[in-house]
Amino acid sequence: MAHEVILMGMGNPLLDISAAVDEQYLQKYEEMANNPNVEYTAGGATQNSIRVAQWMLQIPGATTYIGCIGKDKFGEEMKKNSKLAGVNVQYYEDESTPTGTCAVCVVGDQRSLVANLSAANCYKSEHLKRPENWALVEKAKYFYIAGFFLPVSPDSIQLVSEHAAAHDKIFMMNLSAPYICEFCKDALEKFLPYMDFLFGNETEARTFSKVQGWETENVEEIALRLSRWPKASGTHKRIVVITQGADPVVVAEDGKVKKFPVILLPKDKIVDTNGAGDAFVGGFLSQLVQEKSIEECVRAGCYAANVIVQRPGCTFPEKPDFN
């Protein structure tokens, strides 16, 4: 059962700054923080997933998250927001760089995202090696890192992945974006052997296949090939989980593929699909750390994504009603 700090995430923390705006406003999004109706949410892909897992678990301090922020107003906002969500955050605070932000400009039911990594790009493995932070690594049994962190701190990923392999813990990553599959090809290949779970969506999977010269666009075949990629440690087999929007979730495990339908929503119920993939992973992880079956993990992932898409941003009600 989940206990204190069982799940650890590492990634690029971005403060989501959301406001409903008009077309002209989009041209000058920098003024967003002055908008009276602005909303702040602790964001960034990994942090979203960890926040959702924490919400699903409802066990204080079951999750921890590490990343880099600036010493500024937005950094304070991020800390406040994450602590409210119950996540044990250990941010590295960069003195000279502002907190990373993502401006979310909402025009009707469409949104434009403008990300500025800033401090999120400055994470250093020295912070991870500090005794108080490494103690959290020692405590955690599951590790999740989005692919977006590959160009930021590969040495931090190496420390955690090698620790997980040496101690029979579960190490998980996400393909995150087509450009990660293209421009971080070598880093992905380096860490793939350590991955016990790999998440992604159909576009990312197809890009990975193209970069590898696999000459297939078949998501099931790609998932199978990813699951068969050699492993650093023989303790756990690799499980590959690919989401496909409204189409079934593809899970490759033990040389077989299973497909799980998602919860379909009428169009008028969908408020914001941004963060649905992050939420799916968060829901999935919340059951995985409780050693539930893959079916249950997928069901929880679909439930969490379903809740998130009916709300603005990666936000959720006070308590889940997943049973």
Annotated active-site positions, please? 278
Q: What DSSP assignment string belongs to 255-293? A: TEEEEE------GGG----TTHHHHHHHHHHHHHTTT--
Tell me if 211 sits within 8 A of 205, measured CB to CB. no
For the chain, the maximum distance between any two Cα atoms, rounded to a whole number of angstroms, is 56
For the CA atoms of 238, 12, 138, 162, what is the dihedral angle to 10 degrees?
50
Alpha-carbon gap, residue 205 to 257, rounded angstroms: 15
Cβ atoms of 10 and 46 within 8 Å: the answer is yes
| Tokens encoding 71 | 């010493």
**Pairwise CA distance, residues 239 & 197, whole Å:** 5
Cα distance from N-terminal residue to C-terminal residue, the chain = 16
Which residue type, as a one-letter code, is found at position 262?
A: V
